[in-house]
Amino acid sequence: MLSNDFALKVILKNRGRTRPKGHVAKFILFLLLMFQASETMADSKKTQEVKLPNGETVTNTVTNVAPTHQKTRVLNKQELSNIDAQSKEALAFVKYYLPKVKSADLKDYDLAFRAWQLSKEKRYSDAQVTQMLGSYLGNKCATDLNMEWVEINDEYGTDFAVRGKKAEVISFPYSIVQKRIEKKQYDFLYGVFYTIEKIQKDDSVKSR
């Protein structure tokens, strides 16, 4: 079982939204996809397991709370162009740390991230890695999982996210990467992507 955690926001049918396990300013990350146990902020919760394509298992913990007011805006062409540019830089990041890789996949991005963490001389700053890998993850979700880039503004702050076009699922790629850097965690991109894919197919998730 993987030893990371990440979160995203999901609206369940006939239920409230979810909320983080522990207050983290700006991280409006509502469905905690937990690989480790931690304290909850609400009384109502459920857990479910997601089996990844490589055979590993992710345990999800969902906590239900009252909805919060938010404003959502679809990103414009210039903003999407900037994200595309950062996503392309992410491939250069992988090739720098894994020069033998010709066609990088999610696992390669995870391996490159770990190599960056362990390197004595940091060619890329924390901010650069957050932007590059967050852009790559978000773009992959948008392309492969039928999602779109949006800006979310609510009581926690403002952040770019990807939102399902058919399911009420919102993920925050930049926050996900930033959290891993701060907590010195790794091996998460693969698990994040396939868990989002699984959750979007859940019958309990509200349709848009």
Report yes or no on 205 lying in a domain. Answer: no
pLDDT in tens, 134-163: 999 999 999 999 999 999 998 878 999 999
Report yes or no on 45 lying in a domain. Answer: yes
Q: The pTM is what?
A: 0.78
- Supply the CATH number for residue 141's domain: 1.20.120.1090
- CB neighbourhood size of 194 (10 A): 19
Q: Could you tell me whether strands 57-65 and 5-10 are parallel, antiparallel, or unpaired per DSSP bridges? A: unpaired
Report yes or no on 207 lying in a domain. Answer: no
Q: What residues make up the domain containing 28?
A: 5-200
Report yes or no on 134 lying in a domain. Answer: yes
| Number of domains present in the structure of the chain | 1
What pLDDT score was predicted for residue 42?
Answer: 42
Report yes or no on 77 lying in a domain. Answer: yes
Tokens read off for 133:
């890998």
Tokens read off for 164:
């399902």
Report yes or no on 187 lying in a domain. Answer: yes
- pLDDT band for position 114 (50/70/90)? very high
- 50 has a pLDDT exceeding 80: no
Report yes or no on 208 lying in a domain. Answer: no
pLDDT in tens, 58-85: 776 555 445 667 899 999 999 999 999 9
Which are the contacts of 54, defined by CB distance < 8 A and separation ≥ 6? 190
